């Protein structure tokens, strides 16, 4: 009796294995991350511990922000529902370890793309969703209006484990100014210490300064100095070694930007299916077989646009309307004087 | 053969299990790191660190190596641990004795202090002292001088720097005083054992430690002057003090919270130790005519110390390890500088975390060995 039972189970198992193999596309088979994500039913996304406009949770635990929207776009493309994302708040120090150890599958946490990070530590940057640069914030009452007024002995509050620490050193060294770096692990403590008067200036990415300013006791007492001391292209990161997953994340982001370029919004996406422009039709899945290359269906990009919106909508909702950075600056489309330019989806 | 199979087999299985578990994790880590293209190695230690640190006991800036940054963090950890242990011990002994005081007010106040501070999580206390202090302290331009030379401000405590002339002569005079005291103590002990005569060693010691250095000033050519911190304006509302020595508020807040927290546990160890000595001991000592001071010094404390030392060792170890909470308030200790910034800049997580763990292990074991040695020294020696 037991003997037959054993044979029966192994037969069932074999059939099951065969079945899964045949239903799975080649891409999904190649991408362990995609397979795991579809099995789990949610995208595992690493975000910041609270940076308004980029990734911030409200009292009810709902995450919003442009970084959050990248993960939502991937969830819409892969799982069909932009809400199927599990967010993990990470400090600057924890973020790369969380990604390389497999705790999360996308790191979308205002992370600067640099050569050493891309090449050294097992990460791959897939694109840029915000062009930023490091700046300084000071109290208005100090009378400082430019970094050229900085003097020896100035104390600067910042976060540890970021490119900020390195840029700060380069900047003060090149100006020959001695300074006191006060580096905290979490952004909230940096803000609290600067706000209390511990430091004369607070330095981080300008978008971060604008966002954190809204958290200060009295935001109007502080100004961000005009100088930008570094290039900080921020973008989503994936683990090295899963090319298909890397492509999915890259093209989810590109879809949002290209949708804005062609004027496709969450409201008019369905109507765009009948457009005369083949580029638009490809983006909304009415022409071509673009999804097949990733092992996704053809509506993947349509879902992104309908559920998350295009890049412009995401920017307006999260950064402009919240008063953080109403002016898009370099984060405007290349057709409108900015530097947002993505390869064509075809 | 004394060995029995049933004695050896469990031991072998245990060893095998440990080796297998470690082997599995090492192998797994290797495979995973290879898959993700991460190199393993300690070569980064000699590379230029290119980040600055706020507070350092040795000369350091971003042009030094990562190894130098490691030393900066390690020394800062040791600094805060040593100061913390000293303050916690003094405070702990005082509070521990106070808890046994017959005076109601002193007794209850000590009990309140112990219960209050040991029952609040340490991290909260660190935040409290740091941010409360930051809110409460004046800006540099508003600070009132204490004794005309100390300035306690939001940016730190500024104290005058000592400027020495012929410092080495002063240093030798102190060494000489210490040697003289050791010799006199040994002599006094011999005299007491042989003739029963007591020499006032304590008074002589105090005299020596003051008079010899004083002589070095008067006839040795030693000169000491102070460099008093001076207010300097950086911008309309932004000031600092220049000159003198500045202690960052992070160090002060961390030392304060670590000492206040650990002192409560040491106080309990001290109380337990004193109460652990039989009442009869004290009465017997008094009955042979020892003064209350001598009773405490010669009879109670030697016995109480044997009970106090082992649990107090644990508290010293806890304090040292708890100092790693410094990262929360920007005090550049080992965890913040090395396992924080250096780890982030290099991405060498396994290497840096293993070095950090090994360092804390070494620190803790050193404290243990030292305290065990002291414990053995004061243990009852059967003759």
Kindly write down the DSSP assignment for every residue of B320-359, as one continuous string.
HHHGGGGGGGT---HHHIIIIIIHHHH--HHHHHHHHHHH
Contact (CB<8Å) A166/B345: yes
Query: Helix, strand, or coil here: B233?
Result: strand
Provide mean pLDDT across the span A182-204: 89
Say yes or no: A297 contacts chain B, CB-CB below 8 A: no
The predicted structure's pLDDT at residue A239:
92
Instruction: Provide the 8-state DSSP code for B300.
Output: I
Structure tokens given for B249: 């508020």
DSSP code string of B37-92: T----SGGGGSB-----S--SS---TTSBHHHHHHHHHHHHHHHHHHHHHHHHHHH
The predicted structure's pLDDT at residue A21:
46
- The ranges assigned to domains in chain B are 67-160+228-339+358-378, 169-218
Chain A 240-269, residues with CB within 8 Å of chain B CB atoms: 240-241
Q: Which of A104, A77, A128, A124 is nearest to A342 (CA)?
A: A128
Contact (CB<8Å) A144/B328: no
Higher pLDDT, B33 or A68: A68
Task: List residues of chain B with CB under 8 Å from any CB of chain A.
Answer: 33, 35-38, 50-54, 62, 131, 134-135, 139, 154-155, 232, 234-238, 240, 242, 248-250, 327-330, 332, 336, 340-341, 343-347, 349
Say yes or no: A274 contacts chain B, CB-CB below 8 A: no
Structure tokens given for B297: 């010094």
The predicted structure's pLDDT at residue A27:
57
Please state, in angstroms and rounded to a whole number, the distance separating the CA atoms of residues A130 and A257: 11
Burial A231-269 (b: 16+ CB within 10 A, else e): ebbbbbbbbbebebbbbbbbbbbbbbbbbbbbebbbeeb
Query: In terms of DSSP bridges, do strands A43-47 and A106-107 run parallel, antiparallel, or are they unpaired?
Result: parallel
Residue carrying structure tokens 């609270």: A50
Query: Helix, strand, or coil here: B10?
Result: helix
Chain A 131-190, residues with CB within 8 Å of chain B CB atoms: 138-139, 141-144, 149-151, 153-155, 157, 160-162, 165-166, 168-169, 173, 179-186, 189
Is it the case that residue A156 has pLDDT exceeding 70?
Answer: yes
pLDDT in tens, A195-251: 888 899 999 988 889 888 888 888 889 999 989 999 999 999 999 888 899 999 999
Above pLDDT 90, what percent of chain A?
A: 54
The predicted structure's pLDDT at residue B36:
67
Residues on chain B touching A154 (C-beta within 8 angstroms): 234, 238
Contact (CB<8Å) B131/A154: no
Above pLDDT 70, what percent of chain A?
A: 91
Structure tokens given for B351: 């290497």
Provide mean pLDDT across the span A44-67: 92
CATH class of B67-160+228-339+358-378: mainly alpha
- Contact assessment for residue A301 and residue A257, using Cβ atoms and an 8 Å cutoff: no
Contact (CB<8Å) B238/A200: yes
Residues on chain A touching B238 (C-beta within 8 angstroms): 139, 142, 144, 154, 200
Structure tokens given for B174: 């102190």
Which residues, listed in sequence order, are joined to residue A202 by a DSSP beta bridge?
A137, A157
Q: Which of A96, A90, A84 is nearest to A37 (CA)?
A: A84
**Residue from the list A149, A166, A173 with its beta carbon closest to the beta carbon of B235:** A149
How high is the mean pLDDT of chain A? 88
pTM as predicted: 0.79
Please state, in angstroms and rounded to a whole number, the distance separating the CA atoms of residues A226 and A8: 73
At residue A22 the predicted structure's pLDDT band, cuts being 50, 70 and 90, is: very low
**Residue from the list A153, A192, A241 with its beta carbon closest to the beta carbon of B36:** A241
- The distance of B359 to chain A (nearest Cα, Å) reads 20
Q: Which of B18, B21, B26 is nearest to B10 (CA)?
A: B18
The predicted structure's pLDDT at residue A335:
93
**Cβ burial, residue A341 (10 Å; 0-12/13-18/19+):** exposed
At residue A334 the predicted structure's pLDDT band, cuts being 50, 70 and 90, is: very high
Query: Helix, strand, or coil here: B252?
Result: helix
Q: Which of A214, A239, A207 is nearest to A36 (CA)?
A: A239
Residues on chain A touching B62 (C-beta within 8 angstroms): 166, 169, 173
Task: For chain A, report the end-to-end CA distance as a whole number of angstroms.
Answer: 59
- Contact assessment for residue A166 and residue B345, using Cβ atoms and an 8 Å cutoff: yes
Please state, in angstroms and rounded to a whole number, the distance separating the CA atoms of residues B316 and B365: 11
Contact (CB<8Å) B235/A198: no
Please state, in angstroms and rounded to a whole number, the distance separating the CA atoms of residues A286 and B224: 87
Contact (CB<8Å) B340/A189: no
Say yes or no: A90 contacts chain B, CB-CB below 8 A: no
- The distance of A124 to chain B (nearest Cα, Å) reads 10
Residues on chain B touching A197 (C-beta within 8 angstroms): 134, 139, 154
Best of B130, B232, B330 to disrupt the A interface (most A CBs within 10 Å) is: B330
At residue A136 the predicted structure's pLDDT band, cuts being 50, 70 and 90, is: very high
The predicted structure's pLDDT at residue B116:
94
**Residue from the list A122, A142, A239 with its beta carbon closest to the beta carbon of B235:** A142
Q: Which residues contact B289 (CB under 8 A, 6 or more apart)?
A: none
Residue A181's closest chain B neighbor by CA?
A: B54
Residue carrying structure tokens 């909470």: B325
Query: In terms of DSSP bridges, do strands A232-234 and A130-132 run parallel, antiparallel, or are they unpaired?
Result: antiparallel
Q: Which of A305, A302, A343, A280 is nearest to A126 (CA)?
A: A343
Domains detected in chain A:
26-131+234-322 (3.40.190.10), 134-230 (3.40.190.10)
Q: Tell me the backbone φ, ψ of residue B241, rounded to 5 degrees.
A: -100, 140
Pairs of residues, one from chain A and one from chain B, whose beta carbons lie less than 8 Å apart: 129
Q: Which of A305, A322, A323, A224 is nearest to A264 (CA)?
A: A305
pLDDT in tens, A302-325: 999 999 999 999 999 999 998 888
Query: Helix, strand, or coil here: B230?
Result: strand
* pLDDT tens series, chain B, 383 aa: 566 778 888 889 999 999 999 999 888 888 877 776 677 888 889 888 888 888 888 888 888 999 999 999 999 999 999 999 999 999 999 999 899 888 999 999 999 999 999 999 999 999 999 988 777 888 887 777 777 778 888 888 888 878 777 778 888 888 888 898 889 888 888 888 888 777 788 888 888 888 887 887 787 777 777 777 878 787 777 788 877 788 888 999 999 999 999 999 999 999 999 899 888 988 999 899 888 888 888 888 888 988 898 899 999 999 999 999 988 888 999 999 999 888 888 878 888 999 999 999 999 999 999 988 988 888 776 65
**Residue from the list B248, B344, B347 with its beta carbon closest to the beta carbon of A92:** B344
Contact (CB<8Å) B332/A183: yes
Q: Which of A45, A212, A218, A233 is nearest to A137 (CA)?
A: A212
- Contact assessment for residue A117 and residue A125, using Cβ atoms and an 8 Å cutoff: yes
Contact (CB<8Å) B237/A142: yes
Contact (CB<8Å) B250/A182: yes
Residues on chain B touching A160 (C-beta within 8 angstroms): 327, 336, 340-341, 344
- The distance of A229 to chain B (nearest Cα, Å) reads 16
State the SS3 of chain A: CHHHHHHHHHHHHHHHHHHHHHHCCHHHHHCHHHHHHHHHCCEEEEECCCECCCEEECCCCCEECHHHHHHHHHHHHHHCCCCCEEEEECCCCCHHHHHHCCCCCEECCCCECCHHHHHHCCEEECCCCEEECEEEEEEHHHCCCCHHHCCCCEEEEEECCCHHHHHHHHHHHHHCCCEEEEEECCHHHHHHHHHHCCCCEEEEEHHHHHHHHCCCCCHHHEEECCCCCCCEEECCEEECCCHHHHHHHHHHHHHHHHHHHCCCCCCCCCHHHHCCCHHHHHHCCCCCCHHHHHCCCCCHHHHHHHHCCCHHHHHHHHHHCCCCCCCCCCCCEHHHCCCECCCCCC
Q: Which residues contact A302 (CB under 8 A, 6 or more apart)?
A: A269, A270, A273, A283, A284, A285
The predicted structure's pLDDT at residue B18:
93
Residue B338's closest chain A neighbor by CA?
A: A161
Structure tokens given for A60: 């009810």
């Amino acid at each position: 009796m037991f003997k037959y039972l054993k044979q029966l189970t192994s037969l069932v198992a074999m059939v099951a294995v065969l079945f899964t193999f045949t239903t799975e596309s080649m891409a999904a088979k190649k991408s362990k991350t995609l397979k795991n994500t579809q099995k789990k039913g949610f995208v595992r996304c690493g975000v910041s511990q609270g940076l308004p406009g980029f990734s911030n949770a409200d009292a009810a635990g709902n995450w919003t922000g442009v970084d959050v929207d990248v993960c939502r776009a991937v969830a819409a493309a892969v799982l069909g529902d932009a809400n199927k994302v599990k967010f993990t708040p990470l400090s600057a120090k924890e973020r790369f370890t969380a990604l390389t150890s497999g705790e999360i599958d996308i790191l979308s946490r205002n992370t600067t793309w640099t050569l050493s990070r891309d090449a050294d530590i097992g990460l791959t940057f897939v694109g840029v969703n915000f062009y930023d640069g490091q700046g300084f914030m000071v109290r208005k009452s100090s009378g400082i209006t430019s970094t050229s007024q900085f003097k020896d002995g100035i104390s600067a509050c910042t976060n540890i484990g970021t490119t900020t620490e390195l840029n700060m050193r380069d900047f003060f060294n090149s100006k020959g100014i001695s300074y006191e770096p006060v580096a905290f692990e979490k952004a909230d403590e940096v803000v609290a210490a600067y706000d209390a008067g511990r430091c004369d200036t607070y330095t981080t990415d300008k978008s971060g300064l604008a966002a954190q300013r809204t958290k200060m006791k009295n935001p109007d007492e502080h100004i961000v100095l005009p100088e930008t001391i570094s290039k900080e292209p921020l973008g989503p990161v994936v683990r090295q070694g899963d090319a298909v997953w890397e492509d999915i994340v890259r093209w989810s982001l590109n879809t949002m930007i290209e949708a804005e370029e062609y004027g496709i919004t969450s409201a008019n996406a369905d109507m765009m299916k009948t457009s005369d422009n083949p580029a638009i039709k490809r983006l909304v899945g009415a022409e071509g077989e673009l999804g097949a290359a990733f092992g996704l269906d053809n509506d993947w990009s349509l879902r992104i646009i309908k559920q998350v919106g295009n890049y412009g909508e995401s920017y307006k909702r999260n950064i402009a309307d919240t008063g953080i950075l109403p002016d898009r600056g370099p984060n405007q489309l290349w057709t409108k004087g900015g530097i947002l330019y993505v390869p064509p989806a075809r | 053969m004394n060995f029995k199979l049933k004695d050896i087999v469990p031991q072998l299985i245990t060893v095998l299990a440990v080796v297998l578990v470690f082997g599995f994790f090492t192998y797994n880590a290797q495979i995973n790191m290879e898959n993700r293209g991460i190199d393993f190695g300690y070569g980064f230690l000699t590379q230029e660190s290119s980040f600055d640190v706020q507070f350092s006991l040795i000369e350091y800036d971003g042009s030094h190596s990562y190894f130098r940054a490691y030393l900066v963090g390690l020394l800062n950890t040791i600094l805060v641990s040593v100061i913390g242990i000293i303050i916690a011990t003094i405070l702990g002994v005082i509070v521990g004795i106070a808890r046994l005081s017959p005076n109601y007010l002193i007794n209850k106040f000590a009990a309140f202090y112990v219960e209050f501070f040991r029952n609040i999580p340490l991290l909260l206390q660190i935040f409290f002292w740091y941010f409360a202090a930051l809110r409460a302290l004046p800006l540099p331009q508003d600070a009132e001088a204490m004794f005309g030379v100390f300035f306690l401000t939001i940016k730190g405590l500024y104290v005058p720097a000592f400027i020495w002339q012929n410092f080495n002569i002063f240093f030798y005079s102190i060494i000489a005083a210490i040697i003289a005291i050791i010799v006199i103590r040994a002599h006094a002990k011999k005299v007491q054992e042989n003739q029963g005569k007591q020499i006032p060693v304590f008074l002589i010691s105090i005299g020596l430690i003051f008079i010899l250095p004083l002589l070095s000033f008067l006839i040795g050519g030693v000169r000491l002057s102070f460099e008093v911190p001076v207010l300097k304006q950086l911008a309309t509302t932004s000031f600092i003090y220049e000159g003198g020595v500045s202690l960052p508020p992070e160090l002060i807040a961390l030392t304060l919270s670590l000492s206040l927290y650990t002192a409560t546990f040491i106080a309990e160890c001290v109380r337990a130790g004193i109460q652990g000595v039989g009442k009869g001991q004290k009465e017997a000592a008094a009955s042979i005519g020892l003064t209350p001071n001598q009773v405490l010094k010669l009879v109670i404390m030697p016995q109480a110390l044997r009970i106090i030392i082992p649990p107090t060792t644990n508290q010293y170890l806890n304090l040292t390890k708890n100092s790693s909470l410094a990262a929360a308030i920007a005090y550049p200790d080992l965890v913040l500088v090395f396992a924080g910034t250096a780890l982030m800049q290099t991405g060498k997580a396994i290497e840096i975390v293993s070095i950090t763990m090994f360092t804390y292990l070494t620190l803790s074991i050193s404290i243990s060995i030292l305290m065990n040695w002291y414990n053995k020294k004061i243990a009852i020696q059967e003759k």
